[in-house]
A = this chain, B = another copy of it.
Amino acid sequence: MSLPHAILTALLEKPSSGLDLTRRFDRSIGYFWSATHQQIYRELGRLEAEGHIRALPAAQPARGQKKAYEVLPAGRAELARWTAAPQDPKPHRDALLLRLRAAAVVGTAGLEADLRRHRELHRRQLAEYEEIEKRDFPPGDDSAQARLQHLVLRAGIELETFWIQWLTEALEDLPVVEDTP
């Protein structure tokens, strides 16, 4: 039950239309909470119905029918409540690890190529994160907000680094398990 809270956070950072939100979910926010535009529009409707957000009166004669939303006090209160409330970590699911385990039984045929591909994807993601870090968190900016946001980004960077390294090790000593048909 976190998509509404992701949206509230995004809207507090900057009031936006559905499409703007979609774009922001494709970059920064979506790195740890992804969402499609369909999900976003559905959720915007709910949040508005609940009185957590409202459509901004169209200030400028913007292109199209862009409808921007802003967070109402009730929405901010709900977000604060949710942020402070304890939450258990969700059980994780990792298809790649599962496939390795399956490969131990049915053979490693075809795996290596996909491991390489995944490593490449992680490398790209890492490069993107590092780009953002360089751009948005220059040394010396130590406002509380920036520190928190940087902390989150660093988690992303270190996780990608971990996966690249782990995949490299895996590829180095990937044993050949014969298919057993």
Contact = CB atoms under 8 A, between A and B. Distances in A.
Nearest 8 A/B pairs, CB to CB: A84-B110, A34-B91, A144-B175, A104-B148, A80-B106, A32-B97, A9-B102, A83-B102
A67 interface: no
Interface string A65-97: 000000001001101101111111111111111
Contacts of A91: 30, 34
Nearest to A1: B95
A88 B156 CA distance: 18
Given A84-B109, A106-B80, A9 B101 contact: yes
A90 B83 contact: no
13 contacts: A6-B98, A30-B91, A32-B97, A34-B93, A76-B106, A80-B179, A83-B106, A86-B114, A97-B152, A103-B148, A147-B175, A148-B177, A162-B162
Say how many copies of this protein the assembly contains. 2
Contact of A80 (B82, B84, B107, B152): B107
A54 interface: no
